[in-house]
Amino acid sequence: MNDHHPNSWEARAAAHSLYGFTDLPSVRAHGTVVLTHGKGPYVFDTYGKRYLDANSGLWNMVAGFDHPGLARAAQAQYDRFPGYHAFFGRMSDQTVTLSERLIEISPFAHGKVFYTNSGSEANDTMVKMLWFLNRAEGRPQATKIMTRGNAYHGVTVVSASMTAKPYNAAFGLPLDGFLHLTCPHFWREGAPNESEATFTARLAAELEAVIAQEGAETIAGFFAEPVMGAGGVIVPPKGYFQAIQPILHRHGIPLIADEVICGFGRTGAVWGCECFGFAPDAIISSKALTAGYFPMGAVILGPSLSDRMQATLDQIEEFPHGFTASGHPVGCAVALKAIDVILNEGLLEQVRAGAPRMQAGLAEIAEHPNIGELRGIGYMWALEAVRDRDSKRPFDAGLSVLERIANTCTDHGLICRPLGQSVVICPPFILTDAELNEMIEKLAAALKQVFHEVA
């Protein structure tokens, strides 16, 4: 147990703050890491210790923690127009400009944008939009939402119902009408002697069967992350989206790409859907949208949904939904600068250049017999820990192997994330070669130490 002084930062955090998604036994044993500032890809705690944050904050701090252009963009907008909403036919000029820019760089020929404060709210809003449209168009029964096992779409009541994680049972979720299909993780979900192509075909057949069972007329939409991020960086099997999209299209079910994690460069492309060759009906964005410098989410509607939404609004004359900070002018100014930084200041190119080096370094680590799988793309990777590689048998839960790995990495000055049986690496896009090597070396040392302890 920790023995921090009652007035220490750790004790003060424990006394008055609640933690989200935190292994509380680890906090009780080690204390909270209270951070004071950041520089480049590093963050610093109250003792001055430096950590290379290989989790980019929470996937979002892609330009690092002290990018001067982003800070200046926020300050300039605070000086000019520090806050407003997007209600009652009023919005800031920055909101208008960002919407134009998002459609310009989207896969869509035209469309419309609605702003939220987070990815969770954006997914929640998209569901409400689908329900809104279907009721207005005479299909009030079309309310069911399809996602996949181990998917993560957020923490509001609706987006948590979309999130197919067992921990949501603690809240009595999911709500009725949220359908979770098989997780598209070939390494874990594939049957013995089943090829990747056969696995893909099986998932497509499952989708067709669920639609037939539920009734296509009752289903409002299918939401999918191009790469499942908080599910443990699950890259879809080959041909997956090409197999499922025609089925959805044939039944008139919109395909929504949840690009909260994948969007704006994480996969090595602007959008994850580009990497996997599919054209969604809408995109959900957040995180790297502002490079983490302002809380913001966005629903980006493609032509079909945008046109349907406009026709419905012309009829009903109002979309009764929104948030006080929707389209906040400072957030929009920061997002415009973040998009410029990613696309025009070399960050996207850094991901493309660094990804092969990162993969090669992680592949060396993955040779360890307690690593069952290395998977990923771009700057998002996961190493799956196993007791036995051949059988894919995980470590006993009581050993808390992944928490040990994360804590040992922290001891070594590296922040990474345990997700299920995997350790996830998703660093800022700005890593130098030396920093990338440092990340790999510290991760390798931590894994070697923990695997030796539990051998």
What is 294-320 written as a DSSP string? Answer: S--EEEEE-HHHHHHHHHHHHHH----
Please give the domain boundaries of the chain with CATH numbers for all domains.
33-66+346-453 (3.90.1150.10), 70-344 (3.40.640.10)
Say how far apart CA 134 and CA 315 lie, in whole Å. Answer: 13
User: Going edge to edge, which strands form the sheet with 297-301?
Assistant: 112-116, 297-301, 282-285, 255-258, 219-224, 144-148, 178-181
Per-position pLDDT tens, the chain of length 455: 456 678 899 999 999 999 999 889 888 888 899 999 999 999 999 999 999 999 999 999 999 999 999 999 999 999 999 999 999 999 999 999 999 999 999 999 999 999 999 999 999 999 999 999 999 999 999 999 999 999 999 999 999 999 999 999 999 999 999 999 999 999 999 999 999 999 999 999 999 999 999 999 999 999 999 999 999 999 999 999 999 999 999 999 999 999 999 999 999 999 999 999 999 999 999 999 999 999 999 999 999 999 999 999 999 999 999 999 999 999 999 999 999 999 999 999 999 999 999 999 999 999 999 999 999 999 999 999 999 999 999 999 999 999 999 999 999 999 999 999 999 999 999 999 999 999 999 999 999 999 999 98
Task: Tell me, rounded to whole angstroms, the distance of Cα 196 from its chain centroid.
Answer: 25
What's the CA angle centered on 327, arms 324 and 333, to 5 degrees? Answer: 130
Say how far apart CA 46 and CA 82 lie, in whole Å. Answer: 30
Say how far apart CA 263 and CA 289 lie, in whole Å. Answer: 8
440, two tokens: 């790999």
Say how far apart CA 373 and CA 389 lie, in whole Å. Answer: 9
3-state helix, strand, coil in the chain (%, to 5): 45, 15, 40
How many C-beta neighbours within 10 Å does residue 83 have?
13
Say how far apart CA 363 and CA 393 lie, in whole Å. Answer: 20
Cβ 260 vs Cβ 292: under 8 Å? no
Say how far apart CA 100 and CA 96 lie, in whole Å. Answer: 6
With CA atoms as reference, report the closest residue to 427 among 292, 278, 235.
292
